[in-house]
Amino acid sequence: MSSGSKLNYKLVFTKQLNAAPGIAAPQRSGHPVSGGTIDTVPELPEVESLAVFLRERATGAEIDWAASTAISVLKTYQPDLGALSGQKVTGTARYGKFLDVISGPEPLHLVMHLARAGWLRWKDDLPEQRPKPGKSPLGFRLRFTDGTGFDLTEAGTKKRLAVYLVTDPQQVPGVASLGPDPLADDFTVDVLAGLLKDRRTQIKSVLRDQKIIAGVGNAYSDEVLHAAKMSPFKLASSLTPDEVAALYAAMTESLREAVKRSAGLAAADLKAEKKSGLRVHGRTGQPCPVCGDAVREVSFADSSLQYCPTCQTGGKPLADRRLSRLLK
Ligand SMILES: [Zn+2]
Per-residue pLDDT reduced to its tens digit, 190-217: 999 999 999 999 999 999 999 999 999 9
Ligand 1 centroid – CA 288 distance (Å)? 5
Residue 142 CA, ligand 1 centroid: distance in Å: 44
User: Cα of 315 to ligand 1 centre, how many Å?
Assistant: 9
- In CATH, what class is 44-176? alpha beta
Q: How many CB atoms lie within 10 A of CB 305?
A: 24
pLDDT bin (cut points 50, 70, 90) of residue 326 is low
What was the pLDDT predicted at 36? 47
Query: What pLDDT is attached to residue 106?
Result: 95
- Cα of 287 vs centre of ligand 1, distance in Å, is 8
pLDDT at 71: 82
Dihedral angle sign, alpha carbons of residues 285, 10, 81, 59: positive
**Pairwise CA distance, residues 185 & 65, whole Å:** 36
Q: How many Å apart are CA 143 and CA 85, to the nearest integer?
A: 9
pLDDT value of position 16: 29
User: Ligand 1 center to residue 307 CA distance, Å?
Assistant: 8
Q: Quick one: CA torsion of 178, 181, 184, 190, rounded to 10 degrees?
A: 100
What's the whole-model pTM score?
0.84
For ligand 1, a single-atom ion, the residues with CB < 5 A are 288, 290-291, 293, 308, 310-311
Which class is domain 180-327?
A: mainly alpha
CA of 13 from ligand 1 middle (Å) equals 22
Distance CA 28, CA 19 (A): 8
Distance from residue 294's CA to the centre of ligand 1 (Å) = 8
Of 161, 153, 74, the C-alpha closest to 120 is 153
Higher pLDDT, 289 or 34: 289
- 67-100 pLDDT tens trace: 998 888 999 999 999 999 999 999 999 999 999 9
pLDDT at 265: 61
Q: How far is the CA of 238 from the centre of ligand 1 (A)?
A: 22
Question: Which bin fits 292, alpha (ψ -120 to 50), beta or left (φ > 0)?
Answer: left
Q: Ligand 1 centre from 129 Cα, in Å?
A: 53
Distance 205 CA to ligand 1 centre (A): 21
Using the mean position of ligand 1's atoms as its centre, give its distance from the Cα of residue 312 in Å: 7
Q: Tell me the mean pLDDT in the region 5-25.
A: 32
282 Cα–ligand 1 center, Å:
14
Task: Using the mean position of ligand 1's atoms as its centre, give its distance from the Cα of residue 219 in Å.
Answer: 17
Mean pLDDT of the chain: 84
What pLDDT shows up at residue 13? 31
Reading phi first (left if > 0) and then psi (alpha if -120 to 50, else beta), residue 252 is in: alpha
Distance CA 152, CA 66 (A): 11
140-193 tens-digit pLDDT: 999 999 999 999 988 776 778 999 999 999 999 999 999 999 999 999 999 999
Residue-level pLDDT at 272: 64
SS3 282: coil
In the chain the beta strands, taken as DSSP E runs, fall at: 63-68, 88-95, 98-104, 108-113, 118-123, 138-144, 149-154, 162-166, 296-300, 303-307
Distance 25 CA to ligand 1 centre (A): 15
pLDDT tens column, 263-299: 766 555 666 666 678 999 999 999 999 999 999 999 9
Q: How confident is the model at residue 322 (pLDDT cuts 50, 70, 90)?
A: low
For ligand 1, the distance from its centroid to the CA atom of residue 181, given in whole angstroms, is 28
Domain chopping of the chain, boundaries: 44-176, 180-327
Q: Who's near 131: CB < 8 A, 6+ residues apart?
A: 67, 69, 138, 141
Cα 227 to averaged position of ligand 1 atoms, centre (Å): 9
The residue with greater pLDDT, 47 or 168, is: 168
Residues in the chain, total: 328
Provide mean pLDDT across the span 224-243. 98
